[in-house]
Chain A
């Protein structure tokens, strides 16, 4: 039995590790240009676990792909990004590659497609070890086996020579986590790391993630559409809607006093195993398309509490109490 949640004192927040300011991302050009992120501000503190939650298309994954320069030529990315105080936006690919994997590592939803199917997992792990740590030969191999041990892959020495298809989904995700740990990053971005996995395996992987995070003292951003996964693992949450932050707060705070109508809706529309069975309160309507956002608050068409000003102005993210920001005209300190 391990402790599942780690709560940091928020009064004396640790220093900011990564900060993104005014991040905007759009795809395409001319008339077909579609903006998917509209000036997102986000801080990740040293050693904290931040949850990013939202429905598909809200920009939670694009945020980090954009920050790490992984979006490709079709995307226009703007914003000011800092890692431990140093700007890293607009860096060349070569300079960024010193950050990717070594300072900020990322794991993805589907481990089977993130691993190369024609190479043995040990080989792929060795590549990461030699790239990030400059190790070669026996030393690299020993380090790779140590990493497999660290993510609790049984018989690490034998599994070293296995191909991804010979391992289960959960094992492959462990290999991905081992590869991410190879560079001893300060920040691990886990993009829906358990969505493709079964319930009992999901519990194993979440447990492993909080264990390695604690051992390495690294920060983690957990991207998920599942609020209950975030509730278990993260000390702070940011709720995103249609390319903007809707609300951000300490997890306990958010669940106790959700201020944004969308967060309130999310909390009441998920069936919960620990509460009595009752009819779900659905949020009416659907998420607006990225290219066709309403003029004002993008949640206004679905919001039961919308007012006159909501359809004309976009609410800014503002503090309602220490460590709790909401982008809604209804929310007052």
Chain B
């Protein structure tokens, strides 16, 4: 079965000006630097990483909102173009996006039901009556009862606004929904409501999610596969159970152990990374994680590791782990 979404060797470099004394210097910012992944229909791929690691740029590339410097995105086997022509517009029907801040994503001067049916209008689907009916049905199923339909975004709570944004994205029955931090702006009790709703919608409509978040707890909850990003690279990809119980890449290990747990008061394996991620403007050769890696060796400073499959569903980009995979006798605990 061909995957719904195939991302192949995707790169996005931005030309930026950096102040250098009194002058400006041109520099190449590698926001996304050669990532590949597949997403199957009805599945969820979680993309985690710290701010500036290229998560949102990846989302924009997948949707064809930004032109890639290199590589391509295939959606249903068709390349996604960044040029806004008829093909791009037709593809848009099947891929939609949900943003972090619902108030910023909604039009404040339009009542919410008009906003939910607007995508149908844009794509010229159905007549006015059927559009309204579809919007009403969908909104009810998303937990937005009749009294809320004709309200304006500022008259709704944060959770209700995010439901409106979701309904607007889903009314075209897309097969892919890119969610960029969809619950980060919500309070915890509302977060749980929206997460449950996202899971119900997936079950009902079979929509695939590319789920971007910095919150590992949320990503673990919703994903079938999790890709860990660091400075424009995917350093590890695995099913959440494996990634969270036994992270292999030193960065994943630090990331997983940095998540405080409610029930496990002091994490015995907790290790805290030193320093901050380096600027994506001044990357050295070799592994992107070398400066903060407690296990970095000579090879890490010279050769960039490639994302290598360990099992059918698990890939890691680390020289040390790949070596271990070849030599299964070597204890992995030496990394922990």
Contacts and interface: CB of A to CB of B under 8 A. Distances in A.
A3 interface: yes
Interface in B259-294: 259-267, 270-276
Given A270-B217, A277-B220, A282-B193, A199 B261 contact: no
A200 B270 CA distance: 11
A255 B217 CA distance: 18
A257 interface: no
A154 B188 CA distance: 35
Given A4-B266, A271-B220, A272-B263, A198 B51 contact: yes
Given A56-B187, A198-B51, A271-B220, A5 B265 contact: yes
A277 B255 contact: no
A101 interface: no
A200 B188 contact: no
Contacts of B217: 228, 270-273
B189 A265 contact: yes
A266 B260 contact: no
Given A5-B266, A280-B192, A55 B187 contact: yes
Chain B CB within 10 Å, residue with most, of A1, A227, A273, A274: A273
A47 to B, nearest CB: 19
Interface of A is mostly: loop
B159 interface: yes
A168 B195 CA distance: 31
A84 to B, nearest CB: 31
A255 B266 CA distance: 14
Interface string B176-195: 00000000000111111101
Given A4-B266, A271-B195, A279-B199, A199 B258 contact: yes
A260 to B, nearest CB: 13
A275 B258 contact: no
Contacts of B272: 200, 203-204, 207
B244 interface: yes
Given A55-B187, A271-B221, A277-B241, A198 B262 contact: no
A132 B187 CA distance: 37
Nearest to A232: B260
Given A231-B265, A232-B265, A277-B221, A201 B276 contact: yes
Chain B CB within 10 Å, residue with most, of A55, A207, A274, A275: A274
Chain A CB within 10 Å, residue with most, of B187, B270, B271: B187
Nearest to A154: B275
B279 to A, nearest CB: 10
A273 B265 contact: no
A202 interface: yes
A246 interface: no
Given A273-B220, A275-B263, A200 B192 contact: no
Interface string A247-269: 00000100100000000011101
Contacts of B270: 1, 4, 203
B262 A267 contact: yes
A273 B261 contact: yes
Contact of A200 (B190, B199, B266, B273): B273
Nearest to B263: A274
B87 interface: no
B298 to A, nearest CB: 24
B192 A282 contact: yes
Contacts of A154: 275
Contacts of A199: 50, 214, 216, 255, 258-259
A10 B259 CA distance: 28
Contact of B159 (A170, A231, A286): A286
A51 to B, nearest CB: 12
Contacts of A216: none
A36 to B, nearest CB: 16
A130 to B, nearest CB: 30
Contacts of B214: 198-199
A287 interface: yes
A55 B273 contact: no
A272 B274 CA distance: 25
A279 B241 CA distance: 15
B50 A171 contact: no
B240 interface: yes
B73 to A, nearest CB: 27
Nearest to A205: B272
Chain B CB within 10 Å, residue with most, of A200, A225, A229: A200
A168 to B, nearest CB: 4
B276 A170 contact: yes
19 contacts: A3-B266, A4-B265, A4-B266, A171-B276, A198-B214, A204-B273, A204-B274, A207-B272, A227-B262, A232-B265, A255-B263, A266-B189, A270-B192, A270-B262, A271-B221, A274-B262, A274-B264, A280-B195, A287-B189
Given A231-B262, A282-B189, 16 more contacts: A3-B266, A4-B267, A5-B266, A55-B188, A56-B187, A204-B273, A229-B260, A231-B261, A267-B262, A269-B192, A271-B195, A277-B240, A282-B193, A282-B195, A282-B196, A286-B160
Interface of A: 1, 3-5, 55-56, 154, 168, 170-171, 198-204, 206-207, 225-229, 231-232, 252, 255, 265-267, 269-275, 277, 279-284, 286-287
